[in-house]
Chain A
Amino acid sequence: MATQHSRSAARLMLAPAVILLLGWMLVPLIMTLYFSFKNYLPLRGGDLGWAGFENYTRFVTSSSFWPSVATTLIIVGGVLFITVILGIFLAILLNQPMWGQGIVRILVIAPFFVMPTVSALVWKNMFMDPNYGLLAYLWEFFGATPVEWLSKASMPSIITIVSWQWLPFATLILLTAIQSLDSEQLEAAEMDGASATKRFAYITLPHLGRAITVVILIQTIFLLSIFAEIFVTTGGAFGTKTLSYLIFQRVLESQNVGLGSAGGVYAIILANIVAVFLMRIVGKNLDA
């Protein structure tokens, strides 16, 4: 369609954006790769020369490496499971005609606008604190001993906090998908003798397939690098150290930039492995 002239003009006009994006992504990536082969300890002598693959072997052989990968995957999987299931449920609920629909929808979306640090602090101090948190009062009301959430049930607590943050996103995407479902299809299924549960299983759920895929892919990208919620609640203690938190500790707490950079490269590899698996499992929903 386009002529030679308009094509070259298009390339010219796209160039600034492409170059900016490339620089934005390539510079940090190359610097990470560069530092990962360096023995770089800012407070203990600075640049101490090339390290070869030593940083890489040290990072993987550390006793915290595999637990941190497992923690990352458990948090990502747990949050995905909770947000998708509850998201579908909430989306169906919000799609019902009811009084005050607009306000209810805004309230449901609200958690997404709270910054991760703030929401984690609110959960930590107002809900999960074993002395004066709301959950402690609830437990005491029923005569039970308050649970020390963040130390005794650290993983479920963090998964709850992160799920609370991401549930609005899942709900919103799934709600728009449900709204695009042709009501005549549901009526046809009703006339064909399908009960409400069967209509959900055979019509609504397949219709949501693509939206669920989008939710899973986008949330995975963000959840793999989850940090603030862990930083302000457990500080990586009680088995909540994710890969990104481990890298943070290596770089800032141990002041070993080289070792941390090697961890960063592992994080990239892990993200890509997860991405390949996800695309295999759910990616086929995106075409057709």
Chain B
Amino acid sequence: MGRITLDKVTKSFGDTNVIPPLDLTINDGEFVVFVGPSGCGKSTLLRLIAGLEDVSSGQIRIDGEDATNLAPAKRKLAMVFQSYALYPHMSVRKNIAFPMKMAGVDEAEQKKRIEAAAKALNLTDYLDRRPGQLSGGQRQRVAIGRAIVREPSAFLFDEPLSNLDAALRVNMRLEISELHNQLKTTMIYVTHDQVEAMTMADKIVVLRAGHIEQVGSPLELYREPRNKFVAGFIGSPKMNFIEGSVAAQHGAHTIGIRPEHITASETAGLWQGVVGVAEHLGSDTFLHVHNTGLTDTITVRVNGEFGLRHGDTVYLNPEMDKLHKFDAQGLRIA
């Protein structure tokens, strides 16, 4: 079981209010991702759930029981830290065994769980090494192994992939998703990377300055962002925002259109502009189009290769049914 409820939780450091009253329910078995720009309070929120910080007011319930003032160890949660926080003087085996040793699990059971975790995480050959002798990805897996063997009711991940290189990050993303499918345990994952949020989450919580901007499945957030902030944060490359008369034609203060919902043409289209930088990814090309008279730059995603060069004129056709409309406060107009 791992149902976590936050009820009007607040946190302030001195006079600085980091988390205003916040309500959130995380259901058993869910993969929840807290995402937001740095300094939005997502790590603080995770540490409040872990018990590493005390809440200033409000209540945290784990499986229906009040855990607000419970010591971290008693909450049956396991955490994977950004720096992995492995114990450098212990072997991998001892690192993984540490939480069981503290809990007084008997030796035979310890051995069994270590073997199982090592097998699942491809660490069997490295059990007698020290963390210092492992690569970043291996260290990450040891940290996960240390969390698994406790058989916690929920896993907490604090930006676990931010210290890995890009290729490894993609791998570890898959491995963590796979792990979630196997264990079916609640996982709370903090990241500033919206790609990680989109690819891994059952439910995304978008945070800004401690406030929850929107909660929903990745596709809900992509299709129906509640406001301009979520619209700009979810999706890569970023959504284009256009204000002024064009927006007014659609009865909005601002309209938003995603780069993948604009088609580019060499001959004819609704909008006209000049090609700036073109980023060739092979599968796609991102065009940065200037001088459209709408906004500084419009980003367009074109499938495959595209013939135009820097300085050429390009015509753009937005898919009108995929348009997002926002009012002056930045809220979505249905």
Contacts and interface: CB of A to CB of B under 8 A. Distances in A.
Interface in A125-184: 182, 184
A233 B163 CA distance: 59
Interface string B61-88: 0000000000011000111011101111
A202 B73 contact: no
B84 to A, nearest CB: 8
A203 interface: yes
A188 B73 CA distance: 10
Interface string B31-75: 000000000000000000011100000000000000000001100
Give the secondary structure class of A's interface: helix
Interface string A219-241: 00000000000000000000000
Interface size class of A (residues with CB under 8 A): 10 to 19
A209 interface: yes
A184 B77 contact: no
B231 to A, nearest CB: 34
B102 interface: yes
Contacts of B103: 193
Contacts of A193: 73, 99, 102-103
A192 B52 contact: no
Contacts of B72: 187, 190-191
B146 interface: yes
A217 interface: no
Contacts of B306: none
A191 B78 CA distance: 7
Contact of A184 (B85, B89, B99): B85
Nearest to B74: A193
Contact of A185 (B50, B51, B85, B130): B85
Nearest to A184: B85
Contacts of B86: 185
Contact of B85 (A188, A202, A209, A288): A188
Interface in A244-288: 288
Given A190-B72, A209-B89, A198 B79 contact: no
B226 interface: no
A187 to B, nearest CB: 5
Interface in B82-105: 82-83, 85-89, 98-99, 102-103
Interface of A: 182, 184-185, 187-194, 198, 202-203, 206-207, 209, 288
Interface of B: 50-52, 72-73, 77-79, 81-83, 85-89, 98-99, 102-103, 130, 132, 146, 150
22 contacts: A184-B81, A184-B83, A187-B79, A188-B81, A188-B85, A189-B87, A189-B98, A190-B52, A190-B73, A191-B50, A191-B51, A191-B72, A191-B78, A192-B73, A192-B98, A192-B102, A193-B102, A198-B102, A202-B87, A203-B87, A288-B130, A288-B132
